Structure 1
Amino acid sequence: MLLTVNVAFGVVLAVLLLAAAVTAALTHLGRGREILVAGVRAAAQLGAVSLVIGWVVRYLPALVGFVLLMYAVAVWTAGRRITPRGPWWWAGVPIAAGVLPVLAVVLLTGIVPPTGIALVPVAGIFIGGALTATVLAGRRALDELRTRHGEVEAGLALGLLDRDARLEVARVSASDALLPGLDQTRTVGLVTLPGAFVGMLLGGASPLRAGAVQLFVLVGLMAVQVVAVAVTLELVARGRLHRRGE
């Protein structure tokens, strides 16, 4: 077992969470309350999932409903993070565009069996990766358009279409959303041993099989995130994803 779950485990978690929140507050990062809420929510949500996941994976309707719930929460989270008072629901487009093709390929080819115990974690990994990429790309693109609005106007004056002028300004910043995934893939096995790899080893799989699973996860995530970033950038350029008043 990787961790011993006892009273000390709970105390250490609480101390680490509190330390993170206090550090954020003392250094004026402005995220102390969010850190506390995120930690408490994570504990509650994982506890609830632990209770129902064994039932969900046995029944197809429940399995589909659970995956759709993951998607809905991802859309809400990404959309509200990008544009709290704008058309946040557009965040569902890049997440779906990134996840659905990759998930379809791995299911149709039999790489991932169509069973709950395999589909739920794989879908969760891909949806989570698309969420992160969408948030980063959307926020970076909109921030860049706000600070470099004059360059957009200059592009329009030169005859560029509004979409093209916005793309020229926002493209590089939005592409930075791919950096965390790229760095994780580049350094895997050298800096970190990701969860899928460690989980397979702890489950008794051979190192070779565990490495193959982790490679599949990383490459699949890159594919998901590239599509999510590209679609997010297009939505921003076309004015679908925007902040109210901008």
Structure 2
Amino acid sequence: MIKVFESLLISFSFVLLSLILIFKEKLGIGKEIFIAEIMALIQLVVLGYVIGIVFNLGIYYASIMILFMVSVSAFMVKRNVTKEKNRKIVCAAFLSTITITIISLIILTVSKTVLFEVRYLIPLMGMVIGNSTNAMSIGLERFLSDLKSEKDVLWGYLALGATEKQAVNTFVKKAVRAALTPHLNSTKAVGLIFIPGAMVGMLLAGVDPLEAAKVQITIMWMIMASNIFSVTIACYLLYKEFIHQISS
């Protein structure tokens, strides 16, 4: 345990060097960076303790942890999309995330990419939930923003006899594209410019490189699907709510 904290203390040099450059160049984001990195440190250390406990408790408690992660994700999506209270966004984000989490869990276990064990499921479902959170935050923010800025286009579709669902279809497509852009950019560079995290971890653990590559590409496909499905589901669950917002 002491060695872990000694290693972290030395590794914190990355943050200190970054802060020195930020203050020297007067970039104005020093406080934000410091707080974010300290929060990451605290959260990951706590997560390490919690996962260590959950690993020993079994699949039932792992399911509770995953549900907790999905719930937190839903509130984060709402906060990123709007500062106003809106339970419908929370519910839509929760339903979208839990749906793609269950689908991912089924495909991973049926394909035998991983065993149905806590030590595999929590990290992988965490990837699904985390990426879905980012994708929905970007997608829904873009969806609502476009509806507001181009509401004349929306009213035009409706005036021509389109249903509300048909009228928002173009906006949903733009939202999904926006949400997928970060993933597409990283996917195009994978293996050429950088080695993704899961594969790095497996290689460091001594896993056969081809096996590591197989797992990593499955994870990337999983993340791509989770982003597309979560954003699309959330948009179609919320389009009536968003139309009401821009109409009032």
User: Structure 1: any 5+ residue segments left out of the alignment?
Assistant: none
2:118 aligned partner, one-letter code: G
Does 1:166 find its partner at 2:165? no
Structure 1 residues 62, 179: closer, same or farther in 2, change over 3 A?
same
* Residue range with higher mean Cα deviation, 90-99 or 127-136: 90-99
d(CA) in 2 for partners of 1:112, 1:24: 47
Q: Which residue of 2 aligns with 1:58?
A: 56
Q: What is the aligned counterpart of 2:185 among 155, 170, 183?
A: 183
Q: What is the aligned counterpart of 2:144 among 142, 151, 154?
A: 142
Q: Cα offset for 1:213?
A: 1.2
Q: Cα offset for 1:24?
A: 9.2
* Residue range with higher mean Cα deviation, 215-224 or 236-245: 236-245
Structure 1 residues 240, 141: closer, same or farther in 2, change over 3 A?
closer
Superposition RMSD in Å = 2.7
d(CA) in 1 for partners of 2:154, 2:222: 34
Tell me if the contact between 2:138 and 2:175 (Cα under 8 Å) persists in the aligned partners.
Answer: no
Three-state SS of the structure 2 residue aligned to 1:66 is helix
Q: Map of 1:220-231 to 2, 5 A cutoff?
A: 220-231=222-233
What per-residue deviation string (whole Å, max 9, x for no partner) do you get for residues 80-139 of structure 1?
211221233121122122222121221244322121111111111111111111111101
What per-residue deviation string (whole Å, max 9, x for no partner) do you get for residues 57-96 of structure 1?
1212332222222111111111221122123312112212
TM-score, reference length from structure 2: 0.84
Tell me if the contact between 2:144 and 2:242 (Cα under 8 Å) persists in the aligned partners.
Answer: no
Q: Which residue of 2 aligns with 1:44?
A: 42
Structure 1 consecutive aligned stretches of length 4 or more whose deviation exceeds 3 Å = 17-26, 31-37, 240-246
What per-residue deviation string (whole Å, max 9, x for no partner) do you get for residues 136-190 of structure 1?
1101111111111111111122112223222234422432211211222222101
TM-score, reference length from structure 1: 0.85
User: Structure 2: any 5+ residue segments left out of the alignment?
Assistant: 1-5
Three-state SS of the structure 2 residue aligned to 1:238 is helix
* Residue range with higher mean Cα deviation, 5-14 or 171-180: 5-14
d(CA) in 2 for partners of 1:220, 1:79: 23
Q: Which residue of 2 aligns with 1:232?
A: 234
Structure 1 residues 110, 144: closer, same or farther in 2, change over 3 A?
same
d(CA) in 2 for partners of 1:148, 1:236: 17
Q: Map of 1:55-134 to 2, 5 A cutoff?
A: 55-60=53-58, 61-85=60-84, 86-87=86-87, 88-89=89-90, 90-134=92-136
1:221 aligned partner, one-letter code: I
Tell me if the contact between 1:102 and 1:220 (Cα under 8 Å) persists in the aligned partners.
Answer: yes
Q: Which residue of 1 aligns with 2:3?
A: none
2:83 aligned partner, one-letter code: P
Q: Percent identity?
A: 26
d(CA) in 1 for partners of 2:130, 2:23: 23
